[in-house]
Structures are given as C-alpha cells and as structure tokens.
Amino acid sequence: MVLSEENAIFLGRLAPTVARQIVASKALAEGDISASVAAAAKDFELNSDIHDQLVLLRIRDEFDAEFDFSFLPSGAKYLGERLIAWSEKLEAAPVRTKQ
C-alpha cells in the first residue's frame, strides 16, 4: 500500500490519539467511572477566518499534534464560559491526597 503525503501526515498526527485510547481501554472500569488518557495541551492559537465570521482555535498537545476547530462567535463564547466555569469548579474543589 502506498500512502500519499497527506495520508502519512494525517496518520502521524493520529498516532498519539490512538495510543491514548489503547491505554485507556486497558484500564479497568469501576461502576460509572471509566479511564481516559488525555494529552496535555501545551499551546493554543486563536484566529478568525478570512471573512471574520468564525473563531478558529488550534490546540497543540505535548506531542506537537495540532487539532483545529472552528466556532461561530456564539459557540466560542459558550466554550469560553464553560471553560471558566469548570476552572472555577476545580479551583474550589478540596485537594485530594494520594493514598
């Protein structure tokens, strides 16, 4: 099988995601709790499309894989509000110690 450059690049970017899914699938699930392995986001970029109608978000993970998303302005505001709400919830949570 011969892959185009575009397919090879896509598969290379997909590898960390697939690896995290494999690791998470091997973890034992208990009740309603299941494993999830997420790569830490190390950087992000915000921009707009050429018509200034969409908010463009690029997130780069610890493996330098890039994930691009586009939002209508209302969706971007909603995402921002939800991120702030979750951040505040986590900041207010009691600190858990490892046992």
* pLDDT tens profile 28-73: 666 665 556 677 889 999 999 999 999 999 999 887 878 899 999 9
- Closest by Cα among 98, 51, 48, 95 to 76: 48
What pLDDT shows up at residue 57? 96
pLDDT digits (tens, 9 = 90+) for 3-32: 788 887 777 777 767 776 776 676 666 666
User: How far apart, in whole angstroms, are the C-alpha atoms of residue 2 and residue 12?
Assistant: 15
What pLDDT shows up at residue 33? 59
Alpha carbon distance, N-terminus to C-terminus of the chain? 50
